[in-house]
Amino acid sequence: MSPAGGSHRHHVVVIGSGFGGLTATHELRSADVDVTMIARTTHHLFQPMLYQVATGIISEGEIAPATRVVLRKQRNAAVVLGDVEHIDLQRQVVKSRLLERVTETPYDSLIIAAGANQSYFGNDHFAEFAPGMKTIDDALELRGRILGAFEQAELSDDPAEQARLLTFVVIGAGPTGVELAGQIAEMSDKTLKGTFHNIDPTKARVILLDAAPAVLPPMGQKLGKKAAERLEEMGVEIQLNAMVVDLDYDGITVKEKDGTTRRIECQCKVWSAGVAASPLGSDLADQSDVELDRAGRVKVLPDLSIPGQPNVFVVGDMMAVDGVPGQAQGAIQGGRYAAKAIEAGLAGKSPQERAPFKYWDKGSMATISRFAAVAQIPIPGTKKVIETEGFLAWIGWLFLHLIYIVGFRNRLATTIDWLFAFSTPNRSQLVVTEQQVYARTALGQLQQISSRRRNADAVEIPPVTTADADRDTGVESTTTADKDDAPDAETQAS
């Protein structure tokens, strides 16, 4: 079936609106193709700044522009909201679900950029008490948990309970953990100082804990040590070689290297210890010769396609390619490469003629606190790496991240929020709503109800094709005609 309700152009389906998916879609803007981007959120998310949403520096809108608006000017692109449940490689169809509505979208070429989820290393029940840091929901919930703990401590007159409420544990000392621990410490010491009557927020304990023996292991010993020193100056307790073996509402149990265990009483915990690639990788492996690595990432061929399917590409955090880290640049460059390979195919180039994907390592950075960051920048054409830390690295971090935020208005709003947050003790985004605090429990219950309903339903819900969706469901169409009717407006794509 034609994907675009009558159009016979080559149809590219892109799964995911993150760095890989959005870049691939944008890259195809002038190609003679129709593109359908299917994602489970209505926004593109700039994950590297989620910790700033969680700690009240910026608002969620600044890092999560609506993809529909970002792509408004791209005539050959349509957006479909839905959770992709299955990719049928034989029929070349992507099956997605929005609530009870199932949609089937056929493809000629497919780019899968569904990213990664938090991994609890087989202890998925930890998620209830220690949310990860992957989505806007996670960041807002964490903001609610941090500020909620201070509020509860203010009302308590039991010193032990107060101590538990004012102990914050960040599990995982990678870049996200370092950034979060630094910001929770800074928020307690500066923003919340003097705002309570019964507690002193500056006495809050922030613990950064990891089973590994070092902070920021991917950035090397020197920078890891610098980051640890700076965090300790800020009062963050660093506990290494400490593995979390159990976790509940009131605290965590940690196993030391010598096998002994101990308990940390703490209400607010956040998990930034590991990632597992999207389960869509195993969906591919079930139907083809695709192999996965230990993190569930797809071992792609040198042209980022999968064995036996030269028209199916896997990019970003879902792909396993030697020397390519799970970072934004890997996804951006992979998305761009896949889009170009599809265009080259339309121009008559065979898959065998594709040059292998080559990653350009532009370096890594992590902020620690205001005015302090660490950065590792490879010198092009050599094996040398510049390692820097402190104020210069921090300015570099701010500048680079500002460039990659999508949309001029978002960049401006972020700059204003930063000026406010870094030149005063205040932060402008300290709102907490009941929905943020209770959302995870409510969503969990909803999912249970919904899956019970589906299991009880003997008759399978018939899938809706994109053409049916045009006709009677209101799901966005992929037709060129629809897109031509769309009002013109300034695109926010950067």
Ligand X SMILES: Cc1cc2nc3c(=O)[nH]c(=O)nc-3n(C[C@H](O)[C@H](O)[C@H](O)COP(=O)(O)OP(=O)(O)OC[C@H]3O[C@@H](n4cnc5c(N)ncnc54)[C@H](O)[C@@H]3O)c2cc1C
What number of residues does the chain have? Answer: 494
Compute the least distance from the CB of residue 100 to ligand X, in Å: 16
If one asks whether residue 281 binds ligand X (CB under 6 A), the answer comes out as no
Interface mask toward ligand X for 43-62; x: CB under 6 A: ----xx-x------------
In this complex, which beta carbon is closest to ligand X, that of residue 112 or of residue 228? 112
Compute the least distance from the CB of residue 416 to ligand X, in Å: 21
Site for ligand X in 127-146 (CB under 6 A): 133-134
C-beta of residue 214 within 8 angstroms of C-beta of residue 221: yes
In this complex, which beta carbon is closest to ligand X, that of residue 251 or of residue 281? 281
If one asks whether residue 172 binds ligand X (CB under 6 A), the answer comes out as no
Of 215, 238, 230, 219, the closest CA to residue 368 belongs to 230
**For ligand X, which residue of 35, 331, 368, 469 counts as binding (CB under 6 A)?**
331
C-beta of residue 342 within 8 angstroms of C-beta of residue 31: yes
Compute the least distance from the CB of residue 91 to ligand X, in Å: 18
Rounded to whole angstroms, the Cα distance separating 238 from 215 reads 8
Both tokens of 223, joined, read: 């920078």
In this complex, which beta carbon is closest to ligand X, that of residue 218 or of residue 425? 218
If one asks whether residue 119 binds ligand X (CB under 6 A), the answer comes out as no
If one asks whether residue 81 binds ligand X (CB under 6 A), the answer comes out as no
**For ligand X, which residue of 2, 42, 73, 83 counts as binding (CB under 6 A)?**
83
If one asks whether residue 115 binds ligand X (CB under 6 A), the answer comes out as yes
Piece of 206-214, 239-247, 312-320, 448-456 that binds ligand X (CB under 6 A): 312-320
Compute the least distance from the CB of residue 228 to ligand X, in Å: 18
**For ligand X, which residue of 317, 417, 470, 476 counts as binding (CB under 6 A)?**
317
Compute the least distance from the CB of residue 21 to ligand X, in Å: 6
If one asks whether residue 87 binds ligand X (CB under 6 A), the answer comes out as no
In this complex, which beta carbon is closest to ligand X, that of residue 113 or of residue 264? 113
Of 44, 3, 42, 10, the closest CA to residue 26 belongs to 44
Compute the least distance from the CB of residue 407 to ligand X, in Å: 16
Interface mask toward ligand X for 259-278; x: CB under 6 A: -------------------x
Active site residue 179: yes
If one asks whether residue 296 binds ligand X (CB under 6 A), the answer comes out as no
Site for ligand X in 356-375 (CB under 6 A): none
Of 60, 62, 104, 179, the active-site residue reads 179
Number of residues that bind ligand X (CB under 6 A): 33
**For ligand X, which residue of 16, 172, 345, 407 counts as binding (CB under 6 A)?**
16
Cβ-count burial of 322 within 10 angstroms (0-12 exposed, 13-18 middle, 19+ buried)?
exposed
If one asks whether residue 17 binds ligand X (CB under 6 A), the answer comes out as yes
**For ligand X, which residue of 113, 153, 185, 187 counts as binding (CB under 6 A)?**
113
Handedness of CA 272, 273, 275, 276 (dihedral sign): negative
Both tokens of 373, joined, read: 């960051």
If one asks whether residue 65 binds ligand X (CB under 6 A), the answer comes out as no
Rounded to whole angstroms, the Cα distance separating 235 from 156 reads 24
In this complex, which beta carbon is closest to ligand X, that of residue 17 or of residue 465? 17
Compute the least distance from the CB of residue 42 to ligand X, in Å: 9
Rounded to whole angstroms, the Cα distance separating 413 from 327 reads 24
Site for ligand X in 25-44 (CB under 6 A): 38-41
Piece of 17-25, 254-262, 381-389, 462-470 that binds ligand X (CB under 6 A): 17-25
Piece of 9-17, 204-212, 225-233, 472-480 that binds ligand X (CB under 6 A): 9-17
If one asks whether residue 406 binds ligand X (CB under 6 A), the answer comes out as no
Which residues form the catalytic set? 179
> Could you list the residues that contact ligand X (CB under 6 A)?
15-21, 38-41, 47-48, 50, 83-84, 113-115, 133-134, 175-176, 278, 280, 316-318, 326-329, 331
